[in-house]
């Protein structure tokens, strides 16, 4: 088999030496001379390219180049990797020194050489203006080589002058100690096994590619290493060779015929391809294949099309199928979300019916098998789990998408969250304090509709299961004929409302069908500006009712104790803020008035009027005033049958003389100053305007955490952590032992926090984010707590967490702030060497010359 031996340049491109002999009838000696001259010219050209790249690396934003020095496997050599931000490619307003997506240059200053080169970045149909069909018609010419788009990770293979193989991933090569998956290493190992099986010395391949001055471009597809969407089991795994590029600044690549010859010689898997002469025929072919998402009865991701522009320059574009890969990716992501949150995600944009069927099948398997969850998060077993579901369901992915009955079910049974009909159910969350009449109002409503409205009181639940309130509420709501349930708790803080929403998301489908639409309505009993007058009225009511309450019994506790409990509720009261999480999740907020005479009656009437206006399906006709008054009179006869023992009473006074802290934290005094710092960093560092706008919006919205803090030491670390963390927990408890005495505080209700007066000093270090959360990594001293009065360092007090951080914004609904720890762990594993490095969806920018801030040490009870 004959391959390219040497390349020289004609008027347009580099041609193989054998073609030169045919075309120019030159002697081998003459070819060597011309080739040598060409090499010198290329060296000068690469020097100029290096200068341009170095200049681009100093740019602030648009067109900035990123440089990375990489070791070479099994060699003392180093190469330089150059890359640009993905969004800088293909823009008319940005000129890049080289459009290669993957560019490696030798480290030599005197005689630099491009040692590996990827394709020029190419785009999907209609993704940019020069991949629109009308542009392609006017600016490209056939033949069009159509190659099947394999689904793996790209690998570049070339050779160095000393006979060393150079195997690279898109932007790196060589050994790494950052703990992340090394695609280049996996690719090299597979390549060496491939050559060994053919009896080929790796040096032979390296020298061949060096002499050709070319890079072999392959897709490494191997489910035993990394699963994507398509399946590559052992017999299909391998390096699929789909291109051979010349190592030069301008893009030049060999035909698929030459690529196939090279692949067969060196044991690569061959990419399927075909040639079509006209663009109209190409378009017909692609559109036909897209209807099934397959080629030759095999599911594929799409095609890469190779052609030339009218001036004979190489030009690539791609045609990706939307389905079934969108559906498969959705299954993968909802599975990962479920494993992370243990909460079933059920609001999908597409494929609602079949994705819920998929979750019905996989969730029981995930619950029973922790190893299955662990493997899935490591991208192992994704395809196996998908195939298990498809086998169970009896259809392939394409059959599901094209099956008429399933399409009908998607339309008929998928949840439309805006639709309200006979099957819609309702949950009511009061926002109130003690003595506002919420229970009387709730009982009035359930007396009006005894067969279709239910009422669950938190004070009737005496067990330790915190979620029992929601479990009981959903259990009642699930009964036949039940339309609405009032979840009777004060819910006077954002934290409590958020808790109810989280429990609902987690438990809903344990009790209700996935396609059951539930509307959640807030009953806001008073605005914040009325809090003083409402407190006085509520105190009067509570003292008048005496012991007619499960836990607040005036005669047993005494007036002073009751007043202390009520003052604690009022001091912690956070009114409804509809623009802010979690209150922005309510489908409707009904504003009520506590100060009116007969407020329970007027509030019940107000609730019914609002429901009749917004949800006539629930209240088709308003009850008469007399009927409502009769229902109220009945509710006033209510006597609690449960007595709830509240910790802190006389029976537990000695046992619970001290508060039990949940964690110690540094509370940020002015979070707006930190938000301004983050905003300035985003404005300075983020290059993509759309991304910058998105992040800036997240800073000024309900996604931003209501309070900023740095967790210093958590009870979980004190119980289950390392010896150092357990010791730290003890030190914090010793330091603030007097503060924790209940006799020193007016509040004994769990969920509140207290200030200590001590101070923590910190600096902002890095801003990190992915699609779920935005987090600040901060720097603290080893002993970071200062006495609030003297300013002296408090010995033995520091941050017990591995990563000191501040959760800034929750970017995806359902994500918990604790996820910040996972983000920090990933950052440590990746060790990004470039600012703004994008890997595994994680992004990072470092603060330069950060200011020092103070925060106050607080105790969360």
| Catalytically active residues, by annotation | 149
Identify whether the C-beta of residue 117 lies closer than 8 Å to the C-beta of residue 103: yes
Angle between the N-to-C axes of helices 325-341 and 352-368, in degrees from 0 to 180, rounded to the nearest 10: 40
Identify whether the C-beta of residue 507 lies closer than 8 Å to the C-beta of residue 500: no
3-state helix, strand, coil in the chain (%, to 5): 40, 20, 40
Report d(CA 526, CA 59) in Å as an integer. 55
Identify whether the C-beta of residue 807 lies closer than 8 Å to the C-beta of residue 816: no
Report d(CA 824, CA 776) in Å as an integer. 9
Contacts of 549 (CB under 8 A, 6+ apart): 459, 542, 640
Instruction: Write the DSSP symbol of residue 61.
Output: S
Report d(CA 102, CA 155) in Å as an integer. 10
Contacts of 831 (CB under 8 A, 6+ apart): 176, 178, 180
Identify whether the C-beta of residue 815 lies closer than 8 Å to the C-beta of residue 860: no
Burial (CB < 10 A; 0-12, 13-18, 19+), residue 564, is: middle
> How many CB atoms sit inside 10 A of residue 230's CB?
19
CA terminus-to-terminus distance, the chain: 77
Instruction: Write the DSSP symbol of residue 57.
Output: H
Identify whether the C-beta of residue 105 lies closer than 8 Å to the C-beta of residue 114: yes
Which sign, positive or negative, has the C-alpha torsion 238, 244, 249, 252? negative
> Nearest to residue 344, comparing CAs of 568, 196, 482, 504?
504
- Please state whether 177 falls in left (phi above 0), alpha (psi between -120 and 50) or beta: alpha
Report d(CA 595, CA 597) in Å as an integer. 7
Identify whether the C-beta of residue 275 lies closer than 8 Å to the C-beta of residue 255: no
The Cα-based distances of 406 to 344, 352, 354, 387 in angstroms read: 22, 11, 8, 18
Alpha helices, DSSP H, located in 648-783: 671-685, 689-699, 715-720, 723-735
In sequence order, what are the beta bridge partners of 314? 308
Helix (H, G, I), strand (E, B) or coil at 444: helix
Report d(CA 467, CA 621) in Å as an integer. 35
The Cα-based distances of 488 to 13, 73, 440, 551, 602 in angstroms read: 78, 65, 10, 14, 19
Q: How far is CA 67 from the centre of its chain?
A: 27
Report d(CA 534, CA 523) in Å as an integer. 16
């Amino acid at each position: 088999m004959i391959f390219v031996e040497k390349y020289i340049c004609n008027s347009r491109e580099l041609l193989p030496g054998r073609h030169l002999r045919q075309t120019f009838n030159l002697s081998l000696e003459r070819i060597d001379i011309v080739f040598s001259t060409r090499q010198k010219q290329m060296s000068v050209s690469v020097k100029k390219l290096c200068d341009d790249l170095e200049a681009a690396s100093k740019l602030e934003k648009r067109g900035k180049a990123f440089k990375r020095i990489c070791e070479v496997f099994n060699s003392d050599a180093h190469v330089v990797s150059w890359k640009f931000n993905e969004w800088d490619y293909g823009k008319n307003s940005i000129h890049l020194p080289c459009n290669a997506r993957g560019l490696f240059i030798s480290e030599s200053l005197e005689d630099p050489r491009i040692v590996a080169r990827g394709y020029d970045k190419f785009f999907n149909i209609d993704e940019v203006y020069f991949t629109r069909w009308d542009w392609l018609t006017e600016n490209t010419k056939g033949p069009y080589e159509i190659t099947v788009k394999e689904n793996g990770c790209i690998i570049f293979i070339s050779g160095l002058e000393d006979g060393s193989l150079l195997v690279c991933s898109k932007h790196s090569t060589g050994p790494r100690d950052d703990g992340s998956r090394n695609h280049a290493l996996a690719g090299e190992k597979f390549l060496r096994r491939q050559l060994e099986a053919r009896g080929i010395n790796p040096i032979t391949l390296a020298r061949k590619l060096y002499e050709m001055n070319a890079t072999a471009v392959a897709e490494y597809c191997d489910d035993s290493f990394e699963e994507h969407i398509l399946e590559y089991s052992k017999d299909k795994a391998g390096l699929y060779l789909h291109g051979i590029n010349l190592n030069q600044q301008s893009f030049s690549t060999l035909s698929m015929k030459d690529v196939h010859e090279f692949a067969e010689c060196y044991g690569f898997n061959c990419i399927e391809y075909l040639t079509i002469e006209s663009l109209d025929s190409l378009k017909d072919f692609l559109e036909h294949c897209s209807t099934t998402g397959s080629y030759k009865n095999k599911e594929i991701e799409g095609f890469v099309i190779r052609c030339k522009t009218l001036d004979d320059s190489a030009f690539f574009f791609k045609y990706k199928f939307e389905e079934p890969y969108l559906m498969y990716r959705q299954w993968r992501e909802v599975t990962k979300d479920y494993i992370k949150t243990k909460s079933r995600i059920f609001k999908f944009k597409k494929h609602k019916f079949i994705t819920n069927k998929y979750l019905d099948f996989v969730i029981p398997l995930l619950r029973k098998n922790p190893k299955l969850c662990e493997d899935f998060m490591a991208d192992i077993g994704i395809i196996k789990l998908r195939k298990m579901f498809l086998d169970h369901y009896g259809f392939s992915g394409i059959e599901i998408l094209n099956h008429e009955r399933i399409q009908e079910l998607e339309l008929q049974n998928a949840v439309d969250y805006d639709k309200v009909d006979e099957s819609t159910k309702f949950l009511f969350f009061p926002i109130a304090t003690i003595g506002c009449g919420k229970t009387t109002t709730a009982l009035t409503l359930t007396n009006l509709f005894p067969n279709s409205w239910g009422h669950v009181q938190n004070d009737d639940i005496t067990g330790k299961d915190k979620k029992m309130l929601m479990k009981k509420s959903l259990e009642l709501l699930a009964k036949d004929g039940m339309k609405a349930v009032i979840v009777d708790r004060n819910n006077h803080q954002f934290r409590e409302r958020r808790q109810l929403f989280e429990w609902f998301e987690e438990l809903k489908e344990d009790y209700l069908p996935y396609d059951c639409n539930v509307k959640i309505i807030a009953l806001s009993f008073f605005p914040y500006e009325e809090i003083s007058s409402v407190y006085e009225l509520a105190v009067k009511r509570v003292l008048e009712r005496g012991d007619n309450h499960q836990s607040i019994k005036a005669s047993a506790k005494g007036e002073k104790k009751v007043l202390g409990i009520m003052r604690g509720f009022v001091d912690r009261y956070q009114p409804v803020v509809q623009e802010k999480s979690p209150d922005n999740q309510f489908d409707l907020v009904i504003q009520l008035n506590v100060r009116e005479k007969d407020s329970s009656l007027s509030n019940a009437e107000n609730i019914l009027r609002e429901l009749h206006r917004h949800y006539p399906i629930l209240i088709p006709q308003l009850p008469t005033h007399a009927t409502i008054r009769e229902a109220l009179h009945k509710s006033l006869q209510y006597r609690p049958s449960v007595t709830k023992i509240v910790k802190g009473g006389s029976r537990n006074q000695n046992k619970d003389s001290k508060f039990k802290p949940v964690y110690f934290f540094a509370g940020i005094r002015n979070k707006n100053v930190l938000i301004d710092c983050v905003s300035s960093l985003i404005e300075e560092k983020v290059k993509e305007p759309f991304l910058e706008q998105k992040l800036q919006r997240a800073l000024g919205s309900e996604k931003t955490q209501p309070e900023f803090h740095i967790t210093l030491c958590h009870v979980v670390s004190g119980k289950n952590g390392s010896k150092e963390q357990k010791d730290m927990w003890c030190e914090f408890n010793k330091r603030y032992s007097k503060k924790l005495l209940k006799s020193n505080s007016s509040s004994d209700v769990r969920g509140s926090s207290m200030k200590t007066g001590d101070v923590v000093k910190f600096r902002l270090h890095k801003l990190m984010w992915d699609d779920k959360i935005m987090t600040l990594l901060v720097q603290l001293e080893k002993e970071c707590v200062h006495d609030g009065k003297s300013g002296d360092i408090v010995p033995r007090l520091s941050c017990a967490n591995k990563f000191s951080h501040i959760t800034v914004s929750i970017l995806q609904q359902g994500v918990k702030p604790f996820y910040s720890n996972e983000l920090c762990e990933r950052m440590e594993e990746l060790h990004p060497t470039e600012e703004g490095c994008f890997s595994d969806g994680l992004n990072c920018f470092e603060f330069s010359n950060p200011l020092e801030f103070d925060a106050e040490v607080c105790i969360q009870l």
